[in-house]
Amino acid sequence: MRSTRAVLLILDISGYTRFIHQRAVSLEHAEGIITELIEAVIDEADLPLKVNKLEGDAALLFAECAPDPALQLRQTFLQLGRFFAAFSQRLEHIRRKRGHCGCDACANVEQLQLKALLHQGPIVIKQVRQFEEIAGDAVILLHRLLKNDVPASQYLLLTADARQPLGDLCAGFERLEQAIEGMPPCAVYWTPSLPQAPDGLRDRSATPQVALVTQGALRSHTFHHLPRPWWHRLGERVKHLLPR
């Protein structure tokens, strides 16, 4: 067992509970759809960010971030757009592939949405047989934040500990004072889903999130649903992260 500091990320597919409970007859298709979506999203994670475990309709990922939490947070933050893009892309693929099926699960696949929760803090890593378990208040806090008052079903939520080192990257985020079961209330920051990388900018070797900014793609029609000041500032702020 050892103590360390980590960036923690939960990727959660919302709509799942309603999806399953109201549509028992299509349970098998619903499970297949969720599995396919989670796989599509976590396949986009780059080391040192790695999947710790799958939790039904969600995945818990973490990256040890000592001695430089700010660097690891920024690297994780820049992967998030790719996760949302992979989710939307796979959702569309599933919708087309399953268009012939009239079951409730396949017919309502577009109701599924992705949320991402990001935090950083001290954790304990312990080995249980072949499994690597992570524990600590930071892990508990992030899970409890799955129940929150964010008025959206697809979003990115940051705790204050995650937001602070990211600085102006999160300038357009909404602040919310969030009550948490069994813990003191805390400030969280959220935004609707991150921009999707346009086609042709998905080459991971080119660090898509950064490439996307440098090629001016943030000004494309893909991002019109986001407030201009937010994505414009993002483009300006991440330039210094580019490889020289």
Please report whether residue 218 would count as binding Zn ion according to CB under 5 A. no
The residue among 106 and 226 lying less far from Zn ion, judged by its C-beta, is: 106
The residue among 38 and 157 lying less far from Zn ion, judged by its C-beta, is: 38
Shortest separation between residue 29's beta carbon and Zn ion, angstroms: 4
Q: Which residue has the tokens 């948490």?
A: 180
Please report whether residue 103 would count as binding Zn ion according to CB under 5 A. yes
Shortest separation between residue 110's beta carbon and Zn ion, angstroms: 14
The residue among 106 and 118 lying less far from Zn ion, judged by its C-beta, is: 106
HEC profile of 114-138 = EEEEEEEEEEEEEEECCEEEEECHH
Q: How far is CA 137 from the centre of its chain?
A: 20
Helix runs in 135-207, H state only: 137-144, 160-166
Shortest separation between residue 36's beta carbon and Zn ion, angstroms: 13
- Strand residues in the chain grouped as ranges (E): 2-14, 50-55, 58-64, 113-128, 131-135, 155-159, 174-180, 183-192
Please report whether residue 125 would count as binding Zn ion according to CB under 5 A. no
Contact present, 14 and 113 (Cβ < 8 Å): yes
Cβ neighbors of 209 (< 8 A, separation 6 or more) are: 78, 79, 81, 82, 197, 238
* x/- map, 23-62, Zn ion, by CB under 5 A: ------x---------------------------------
Please report whether residue 20 would count as binding Zn ion according to CB under 5 A. no
The residue among 99 and 227 lying less far from Zn ion, judged by its C-beta, is: 99
Query: Residue 69, preceding bond cis, omega within 30 degrees?
Result: no
Q: Which of 39, 157, 168 is nearest to 91 (CA)?
A: 39
The residue among 103 and 180 lying less far from Zn ion, judged by its C-beta, is: 103
Please report whether residue 152 would count as binding Zn ion according to CB under 5 A. no
State which of residues 9, 86, 106, 117 lies at the interface with Zn ion (CB under 5 A). 106
Kind of pairing, strands 155-159 and 131-135?
unpaired
Shortest separation between residue 35's beta carbon and Zn ion, angstroms: 14
The residue among 33 and 138 lying less far from Zn ion, judged by its C-beta, is: 33
Site for Zn ion in 167-196 (CB under 5 A): none
State which of residues 24, 25, 70, 101 lies at the interface with Zn ion (CB under 5 A). 101
Q: How far apart are CA 150 and CA 156, in angstroms?
A: 10
Q: How far apart are CA 55 and CA 77, in angstroms?
A: 22
Shortest separation between residue 95's beta carbon and Zn ion, angstroms: 11
The residue among 2 and 21 lying less far from Zn ion, judged by its C-beta, is: 21
Instruction: Give the residues lining the site for Zn ion (CB under 5 A).
Output: 29, 101, 103, 106
